[in-house]
Amino acid sequence: MPAKTYIGGMIVQSPRNAGHNNHLDVHGMVRVPLFSNRVMITAEGGWHRFGSKGFNYTHSYSQPYINLQMMLLIKNWWIMAKYNSSYNRLWGEMISSANQNLTNLGIGYTYKSMTLMAGIVNPFGNVALKSRDLSAIAGYDRIYQATGSNTLIWAGITINLRKGKSRAASQKKLENENIYESITNAKK
């Protein structure tokens, strides 16, 4: 973890390995199927706390978060809307956001063991990544705007490559012969 000090009238940031960073995360998830499993609503949320101690600083940071998802399932099609609230991390003296209130819309089609899917990320605005330096010597707040992020699209394909043979339960019992061998009797 880096540390900032004054050397010769200048601020110098250098790596110092003395210190620690702890993370405690408590979260839960609830999934509710509605309308004969045609609509799935998922809510995941929690609270996380970071503690960071370095060469000449001690910081702590806590934040609640929530992620929401709704899926509509119609035959082989699914439509998804997902929202992730900001999830910030403290490392050393830097708080940075992993995401900043992202929205994700997608659609997919499943055929046998393959699913084709596509979607758009954050169609209602741009992604903003925030960072904050908590240093007493040279702290700052910074926001990066990804100006083209409202036009980000994603596409994917998943294939289920399951292995093994499918057998009926009665056939499994017939082929499951138990043979016991011992010193006194070769077969029982």
pLDDT in tens, 158-187: 998 876 666 665 555 555 555 555 555 555
Give the pLDDT score at 9: 84
**E strand or H helix that includes residue 80:** strand 77-84
Task: Answer yes or no: pTM beyond 0.75.
Answer: no
Q: Is residue 152 part of a domain?
A: yes
What is the phi-psi region of residue 172: left when phi exceeds 0, alpha when psi lies from -120 to 50, beta otherwise?
Answer: alpha
Q: Are 90 and 98 in contact (CB under 8 A)?
A: no
Q: Is residue 151 part of a domain?
A: yes
Q: What gap in Å lies between CA 72 and CA 40, rounded to an integer?
A: 7
- How many separate domains does the chain show? 1
Q: Which region among 39-43, 119-123, 132-136, 165-169 has the lowest average model confidence (pLDDT)?
A: 165-169
Q: Is residue 138 part of a domain?
A: yes
Q: Which region among 22-26, 49-53, 130-134, 161-165 has the lowest average model confidence (pLDDT)?
A: 161-165
Q: Is residue 58 part of a domain?
A: yes
Q: Show the tokens assigned to 46.
A: 């929690």
Q: Which region among 12-16, 83-87, 152-156 has the lowest average model confidence (pLDDT)?
A: 12-16
Where does the pLDDT of residue 10 fall: very low under 50, low under 70, confident under 90, or very high at 90 and above?
confident
Give the pLDDT score at 175: 57
Give the pLDDT score at 118: 97
Q: Is residue 4 part of a domain?
A: no
Percent of the chain with pLDDT over 70: 82
Q: In what order do the strands lie in the sheet with 20-34?
A: 20-34, 39-53, 58-74, 77-84, 102-111, 114-121, 152-159
Q: What is the pLDDT of residues 133-163, one digit of tens each?
A: 888 888 888 888 777 777 789 999 999 887 6
Provide the domain limits for residue 98: 21-174
Three-class SS state of 113: coil
